[in-house]
C-alpha cells in the first residue's frame, strides 16, 4: 500500500487539518472486498473491527494528515461561499493497481471548520443509500464515486427525528468539485486558483498540458464527461436530486448522493427531493442544469481562456449529450446508429410509458426479453391502450428485422436493460433492517447490483417495482 497526501501537502492553504472523531462504538458492517484488494489495502483493516478503532487514533496512518477541503457552490442557483467539507475528511490518496491516485474520503467523522455549527455526523439512512447507490451506478456503467466500507454506531443524532450515526469511506479519482474553482475565483484569490489548476493538471489531467491552451483543454474535457454522465442518468432514469455546483465533480462522476432515486413509473418531471419545491432538479431538468453548472464553472477559466474559447467548449455539451443519450437509448431497444425513423419509434415508446404510467425499468426489461417475432408479445398486456401498442410494435418489429441479426440485438438489449436497480422501496427495506442491526438485506442487494443485467435476478424481490406508486419525498439530511 502506497499512501500519499498530495492535495493536503501541495495545497495547504486550501485545507484545514482535522482529526477524525468517529461516533461512539463504531462497528464495521460492510466492506467492498474487491475494491479493497484493487487498492492494495491491508487485510488487517477489515478484521476484528480493526479499522473502526484505528480511525480514533490520531497516529493511525489514515489520520495523520486528514484534512477538510474548502469550496463554495451555487445551491439551487444561488451563490453560497460558506461551504466546504462539513462532515467529510480527505484521509489520503492510495495508488491502485494502475498506478492511479485514488482518494480515500471519510464521511461522518465529526465537525470541521466548515460544518457551520452542525455536528459533522452522517445518519445510517443516508450513508447506506450512498453506499449502495454509488456501487449500483458503477455496475450499470455510469461513472460514479465508489464505496469502500461502512460503519454503524451506538450514537444517536438528531435530524428531523432521532437517528443512528454512521460513517463510510468512499473513493474517487479526486474530490475536486466545480465549487472549488468557483470559490477561489469569486474571492479573487488568483494565486490559490492557479495552484488548484496546476495540481489538477499534474495529477488528474496531464494530457491537457500538451495542448496550446491547457485550461481550455481541461474545460473541454470536463464538459464532455459531464454531458456523457448526465446522458446516462437520463437513459437509466436516475434522478440525482440536488445538482448544486458543489456536488459536481470535475471528473464527470456521480457524486454526493443525497435524495437520489430511480424512476418507478415514467414521469419525466419527477422530483424526489422534498426541499426542491420549484422542481429545479426534476428528472427532465437535469440536462439543462448540467449545462448551467458548466457555465458557472467556466467563469473560473475566464482569466486563462477568451470568451470564444469558453463558448467553444460549452457548445460541445448538447451534441455530446444527445449522441450518448440516443446511442444508449437505442441500444436499450435493440437498435443501432440513430436516424430519424428509429428516434421516432423510440420517442413513441417513451410516450406510451409516460401516458400509461408504466414502470420505466421493468418495462424496458420486459421489452428486452420479448420475442421480436411474436405478433402479440406478453408485454402487450402491460398497456391499457392496446391499439397504440400494436401500432408501435408493428413499426418496431420492422426496424428490428431490417437491422438483421435479432439474436445480437436481443443480447445487446439484455446487457443494457437491468433487472435490478436500487429502487427507493428496496433501499428503505434495507435501511429498516439495518436499524435492527441486520445488514443481511444490504449485502443481498449489493450482491444483486454487481450483476444487474443477469437473468437470475428477474424473479427475485430485487426486480420488483413497488406495490403502490405514491409520490416519494426524500430528505437531503445526512
Yes or no: say if 74 and 182 are a contact pair by the CB < 8 Å rule: yes
Sign of CA dihedral 461, 463, 466, 472: positive
Instruction: Tell me how crowded residue 7 is: count the other CB atoms within 10 A of its CB.
Output: 24
Q: Give yes or no: 385 in active site.
A: no
Q: Which residue has the cell 443525497?
A: 258
Please name which of 290, 286, 266 lies closest in space to residue 276, comparing C-alpha atoms.
Answer: 286
Pairwise CA distance, residues 200 & 208, whole Å: 10
CA atoms within 13 A on the CB side of 31: 20
Under 8 Å CB-to-CB from 191, ≥6 apart: which residues? none
Which candidate in 85, 246, 256, 276 is catalytic?
A: 246
Largest CA distance in the chain: 70
Pairwise CA distance, residues 35 & 146, whole Å: 8
Yes or no: say if 248 and 293 are a contact pair by the CB < 8 Å rule: yes
Sign of CA dihedral 265, 267, 268, 270: negative
DSSP secondary structure letters along 298-347: HGGGTTTS-HHHHHHHHTTHHHHHHHHHHHHHHHHTT--S--HHHHHHHH
Instruction: Tell me how crowded residue 93 is: count the other CB atoms within 10 A of its CB.
Output: 23
Q: Catalytic site residues? A: 246
Amino acid at each position: 500500500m502506497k499512501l500519499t497526501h498530495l492535495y493536503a501537502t501541495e495545497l495547504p492553504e486550501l485545507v484545514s487539518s482535522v482529526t477524525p472523531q468517529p461516533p461512539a462504538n463504531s462497528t464495521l458492517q460492510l466492506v467492498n472486498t474487491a475494491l479493497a484488494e484493487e487498492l492494495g489495502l491491508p487485510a488487517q483493516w477489515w478484521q476484528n473491527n480493526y479499522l473502526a478503532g484505528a480511525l480514533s487514533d490520531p497516529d493511525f496512518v489514515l489520520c495523520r494528515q486528514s484534512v477538510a477541503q474548502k469550496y463554495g457552490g451555487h445551491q439551487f442557483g444561488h451563490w453560497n461561499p460558506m461551504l466546504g467539507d462539513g462532515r467529510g475528511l480527505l484521509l489520503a490518496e492510495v495508488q491502485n493497481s494502475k498506478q492511479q491516485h485514488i482518494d480515500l474520503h471519510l464521511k461522518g467523522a465529526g465537525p470541521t471548520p466548515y460544518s457551520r455549527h452542525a455536528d459533522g455526523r452522517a445518519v445510517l439512512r443516508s450513508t447506506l443509500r450512498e453506499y449502495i447507490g454509488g456501487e449500483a451506478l458503477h455496475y450499470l456503467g455510469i461513472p460514479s464515486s465508489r464505496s469502500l466500507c461502512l460503519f454503524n454506531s451506538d450514537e444517536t443524532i438528531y435530524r428531523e427525528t432521532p437517528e443512528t450515526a454512521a460513517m463510510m469511506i468512499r473513493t474517487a479519482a479526486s474530490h475536486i468539485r466545480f465549487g472549488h474553482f468557483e470559490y477561489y475565483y469569486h474571492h479573487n484569490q488568483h494565486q490559490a486558483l492557479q495552484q488548484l489548476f496546476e495540481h489538477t493538471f499534474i495529477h488528474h489531467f496531464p494530457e491537457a498540458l500538451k495542448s496550446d491552451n491547457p485550461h481550455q483543454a481541461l474545460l473541454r474535457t470536463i464538459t464532455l464527461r459531464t454531458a456523457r454522465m448526465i446522458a446516462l442518468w437520463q437513459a437509466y432514469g436516475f434522478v440525482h436530486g440536488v445538482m448544486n455546483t458543489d456536488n459536481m465533480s470535475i471528473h464527470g462522476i456521480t457524486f454526493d448522493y443525497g435524495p437520489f432515486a430511480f424512476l418507478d413509473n415514467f414521469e419525466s418531471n419527477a422530483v424526489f427531493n422534498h426541499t426542491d419545491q420549484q422542481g429545479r432538479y426534476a428528472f427532465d431538468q437535469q440536462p439543462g442544469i448540467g449545462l448551467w453548472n458548466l457555465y458557472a464553472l467556466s467563469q473560473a477559466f475566464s482569466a486563462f481562456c477568451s470568451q470564444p474559447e469558453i463558448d467553444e467548449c460549452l457548445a460541445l455539451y448538447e451534441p455530446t449529450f444527445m449522441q450518448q443519450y440516443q446511442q444508449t437509448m437505442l441500444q436499450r431497444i435493440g437498435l443501432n446508429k440513430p436516424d430519424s425513423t428509429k428516434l421516432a419509434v423510440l420517442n413513441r415508446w417513451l410516450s406510451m410509458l409516460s401516458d400509461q404510467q408504466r414502470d420505466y425499468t421493468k418495462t424496458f426489461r420486459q421489452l428486452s426479453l420479448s420475442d421480436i417475432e411474436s405478433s402479440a408479445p406478453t408485454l402487450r398486456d402491460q398497456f391499457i391502450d392496446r391499439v397504440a401498442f400494436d401500432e408501435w410494435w408493428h413499426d418496431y418489429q420492422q426496424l428490428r428485422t431490417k437491422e438483421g441479426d435479432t439474436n445480437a440485438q436481443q443480447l445487446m438489449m439484455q446487457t443494457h436493460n437491468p433487472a435490478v436497480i436500487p429502487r427507493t422501496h428496496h433501499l428503505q427495506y434495507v435501511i429498516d433492517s439495518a436499524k435492527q442491526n441486520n445488514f443481511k438485506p444490504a449485502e443481498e442487494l449489493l450482491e444483486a447490483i454487481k450483476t444487474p443485467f443477469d437473468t437470475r435476478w428477474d424473479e427475485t424481490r430485487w426486480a420488483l417495482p413497488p406495490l403502490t406508486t405514491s409520490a416519494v419525498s426524500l430528505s437531503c439530511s445526512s
